[in-house]
Amino acid sequence: MTNTSLRRRITFAVARKDLRIEWNSRVLVNQVAPFAAIVMVLFAFALDNDGILQRVAPGLVWLATLFSMLVVIQRSFSVESADGALDALRVAGVDPTAIFLGKSIALMVQLFALEALLVGTAFVLYNITMSPAGLVEAFVTMLTATAGLACVGTLYGGLAAGVRGRETLLPLLLLPVVAPVLIGATRAMEAAFGSGGAQVSEGWPWIGLLTVFAVLFIALGSVAFGPLVDE
């Protein structure tokens, strides 16, 4: 078997494993999604004005995504470190790049589901409307932003896994790095939602930024994940 096809098989095996664990435990559905929803309601309490909510809805969707992501990443690595599963994989000589890609894919699927829920919540709670072109743009934004977030999250989640104090360390490491995603995804989503009179066409350069971020961190993560988790 060639190296590439082996790596691909391991990647999908790891992704399937993570998603199956999630499917069986339902942490995302039972805990993270309600958390994200309550954050959206709390934003409404804090801002208490329909006009403002509509205007800032894209930013709120992505902020809620970032906060929920922290919880999901911690969950993704606590299932690994609980029984020393990650160490076992490494000792067994499993390709760290494949582990990285697999966990990123699983994280991406979960985050995408979460974002879809958050956008839906914004529709209902904040009274958003979208044109068909905006809908396509929102979808592409979510896709590119999520790819970047999942890779960066897996990379830093892996670093913080298995050490004391990781609960407080992860946000400190991760949030400064994902700033470009928050900026890009918010602007692109504003264009998609038409918030503040933005045109749909204004969003595409930001999607370019999101794509650059995603590609960069797929590459960086593939190289750096091994040395970071290798103990």
Which positions touch another protein (CB under 8 A)? 155, 159, 163-165, 169, 172-173, 175-177, 179-180, 183-184, 187, 205-206, 209, 212-213, 216, 220, 224, 227-228, 230-231
Residue among 180 and 194 whose Cβ is closer to another protein = 180
Other C-beta atoms within 10 Å of 199: how many? 10
Tokens read off for 181: 């995603």
Tokens read off for 159: 């670093």
Beta strands in 30-175 (DSSP E): none
3-state secondary structure of 3: helix
- Minimum distance, C-beta of residue 211 to another protein, in the bound complex (Å): 12
Residue among 28 and 101 whose Cβ is closer to another protein = 101
Tokens read off for 205: 């350069």
Residues in the chain: 231
Residue among 30 and 168 whose Cβ is closer to another protein = 168
The C-alpha atoms of residue 38 and residue 118 are separated, in whole angstroms, by: 10
Q: What are phi and psi of 230, to 5 degrees?
A: -70, 115
Tokens read off for 143: 């896709």
- Minimum distance, C-beta of residue 188 to another protein, in the bound complex (Å): 12
Other C-beta atoms within 10 Å of 155: how many? 26
The C-alpha atoms of residue 19 and residue 134 are separated, in whole angstroms, by: 30
Residue among 71 and 212 whose Cβ is closer to another protein = 212
- Minimum distance, C-beta of residue 177 to another protein, in the bound complex (Å): 5
- Minimum distance, C-beta of residue 113 to another protein, in the bound complex (Å): 26
For residue 189, give the nearest of 149, 126, 136 by alpha carbon: 136
- Minimum distance, C-beta of residue 230 to another protein, in the bound complex (Å): 7
Tokens read off for 149: 């977030």
Residue among 102 and 148 whose Cβ is closer to another protein = 148
- Minimum distance, C-beta of residue 172 to another protein, in the bound complex (Å): 5
- Minimum distance, C-beta of residue 55 to another protein, in the bound complex (Å): 17
Residue among 82 and 163 whose Cβ is closer to another protein = 163
Residue among 34 and 84 whose Cβ is closer to another protein = 84
Q: What are phi and psi of 147, to 5 degrees?
A: -60, -45
Other C-beta atoms within 10 Å of 183: how many? 15
